[in-house]
Structure 1
Amino acid sequence: MHSGLRARVHNREQLLGIFCFTPSPLLVEFIAVSNYDFVIIDLEHSLTDMQTLDHMILAARSQGLAALVRVPLERSHLVLPILDAGASGIVFPRVQSVEQARRAVQLCRYNPEGDRGLSVHRHLNFKSDELAQRNQHINDSVCVVLMIEDSEGAENARKLAGVEGVDVILEGAADLSASLGVPWQTQHPRVKAELKSIAFNVASSQAQFCAIPRTVEDYQVWQRQGISMFVLGTDRGVIRQALQANVLKFVKSKDVIGEVG
């Protein structure tokens, strides 16, 4: 039986998350108290060190926020200590083949579902009793997320979603747009058509499709199509927009005061 974030995914609850590129436990707490359901801490495009990551995962756990960590398969040696530190799951970027998908699952699950190494750590509350039962509980709770970010992955979407143990297929429209020859044009008809095809192929599996809506309209369209899991941008984008809006608010106020005076 699934538990934690994984259970919520398979129950098709509405889940809202955000990418976190900033190496800050305090920012993770801000995300938690802002009513997000999960955070994806990035290790693909960021330089977050392991001690800071450990503190970010701990900050998430302290606030009841599910912490996923994005780890390239090329850095798969990090998956074990990250899960031992208490992460709710792993996001694997740029997955293209069934072989890669199966390897991702193996890295995240204990025997017989995978080959994850045994250790008594935070994920077990540092308790060494009833380890066999606890291992099964961990297997039931760790969320395996695959990102499809190019045309090869998109072509194999149905097969990737059908791999036993894969919980979520997350779209990566930015890199997908580059793969399709229209870099950064995430609203391009070819990109949107490919995303729709991926979602359709995932729908026939046990996995869930997770969208990254670029606009409110995108979000509403995905909802009407039955999608319930979303990544609402990045910490960098949201913070920049909030800072700009704050400045603009006072600049406009100054203009109004000047006109009145």
Structure 2
Amino acid sequence: MKWARHRALQARFFAGTWLNMGSADSAEIAGLAGYDWALIDLEHGSRDHRELAHQLQAMARFDTAAIVRVPVIEADMFKQVLDLGPAGLMIPNVETQEQAQTVMRYARIPPLGMRGAATSTRNSDYGLQYRRYLAEVNDNLLMVAQIESALGLANVEAIAAVDGIDVLFVGPTDLGIALGLDGDPAVPAFRAALEKVAAAAAAHGKLAGSLVRNAEQAKAYAALGYRFVALGSDRSMIVKGMAANAAVLAELGGGR
């Protein structure tokens, strides 16, 4: 287990990417590329938790922190994912302080939470490091709460105050839709929402984060104080790369 929580909280900038394809190859490439973290997406990704172990194994030899986005806030889902040993969890659409507190109860083992532990699962090296895992996990699991709705934005200060929530992560597409805005930091009204999230994070010693589409957006978020930023996804990079190469070849062939 390569814990990343304290490294992330102390970093000047913690750079990530998105893994949508459910592919161990993509996960390994993310590690080879040298990202600080990579998000394995079980909410909008192409596969489900049955492929998760292979992706985590592919990333295990790298310092890239494997963070898993769960699709729902359910105790059984948290338990199944955490038994496989990711460095952290991302929780979609956290809207209230009570919901954030529930997230932490599901993620932590007693006495701080209610998650059950087993003695032979991957998170503890199949039991070889069981006692060490129990001693470390509550303090070292990186927890990322997504702010994706008008209600979540309204309650962002209270969500940030919850012990154990480390990152307030804006979902720009969903938050933009919820606010009736273009989810681009260049839009003044949306930038004001981003500033509100960043201020809440800073006030409580947490990180502000988001997923960005290009280098210009990455710079804009960094200027607003966002330090936990992902640029692009395996799926989008393949789409863009294939489309660009196909266009080059089509031009050589007379265009199509």
Q: How far did 1:91 drift?
A: 0.6
Which residue of structure 2 lines up, in the alignment, with residue 228 of structure 1?
227
Deviations 1:128-164 (A, max 9, x none): 5672x53121222211110000111011111101100
How far is the alpha carbon of 1:165 from its aligned partner? 0.7
- Structure-to-structure mapping, 1:41-80, within 5 angstroms: 41-80=40-79
Please give the per-residue CA displacement for 1:25-75, whole angstroms capped at 9, x wherever unaligned: 111111111121211111112352332111111112133431111113344
Residues 216/82 of structure 1: CA separation in 2 closer, same or farther (3 Å cut): same
Q: CA RMSD in A?
A: 2.1
Question: CA contact under 8 A between 2:143 and 2:166: conserved in structure 1?
Answer: yes
1:89 alignment partner in structure 2: 88
Q: Is the 8 A contact 1:154 1:194 kept in 2?
A: yes
Question: Which one of 178, 183, 199 corresponds to residue 186 of structure 1?
Answer: 183
Moved more, 60-69 or 103-112: 60-69
Structure 1: distance between partners of 2:213 and 2:128: 45
Match in the other structure for 1:212 = 211
Aligned length: 250
Task: Using the aligned pairs only, state the percent identity.
Answer: 28
TM-score (norm 2): 0.89
The 5 A counterparts of 1:125-164 are 125-127=125-127, 131=131, 133-164=132-163
Task: For 2:154 and 2:34, locate their aligned partners in 1 and report how far apart those are by CA, in whole Å.
Answer: 35
**Residues 193, 215 of structure 1: CA spacing in aligned structure 2 closer, same or farther, 3 A cutoff?**
farther
CA contact (8 A) 1:145 1:169 kept: yes
CA 1:222 to 1:190, structure 2 compared with 1: closer, same or farther past 3 Å?
Answer: same
- Where 2:208 maps in the other structure, the secondary structure is strand
> How far apart in 2 are the matches of 1:50 and 1:202?
30
Aligned counterparts of 1:20 and 1:66: Cα–Cα separation in 2: 12
SS in 2 for 1:63: coil
Match of 1:201 in 2: 200
1:12: how far off?
A: 2.6
Which of 1 and 2 has greater Rg? 1
Tell me, yes or no, if the aligned pair for 2:40 and 2:66 is still in contact at 8 Å: yes
After superposing on structure 2, the runs of 4+ consecutive aligned residues of structure 1 that deviate more than 6 Å are: none
Bigger Cα displacement from structure 2, 222-231 vs 37-46: 222-231
The answer to which of 25-34 and 12-21 deviates more is 12-21
Is the contact made by 1:150 and 1:180 (CA closer than 8 Å) also made in structure 2? yes
For 1:215 and 1:59, how far apart are their aligned partners in 2? 26
Contact 1:16 1:231 (8 Å CA) reproduced = yes
Gaps of 5+ in 1: 256-261
Q: Which moved more, 1:157-166 or 1:224-233?
A: 224-233
Deviation at 1:90, TM superposition (A): 0.9
Query: Which residue identity lines up with residue 122 of structure 1 in the other structure?
Result: R
| CA 1:75–1:46: 2 relative to 1, 3 Å | farther
Equivalent AA in structure 2 for residue 111 of structure 1: P
SS in 2 for 1:232: strand
SS in 2 for 1:212: strand
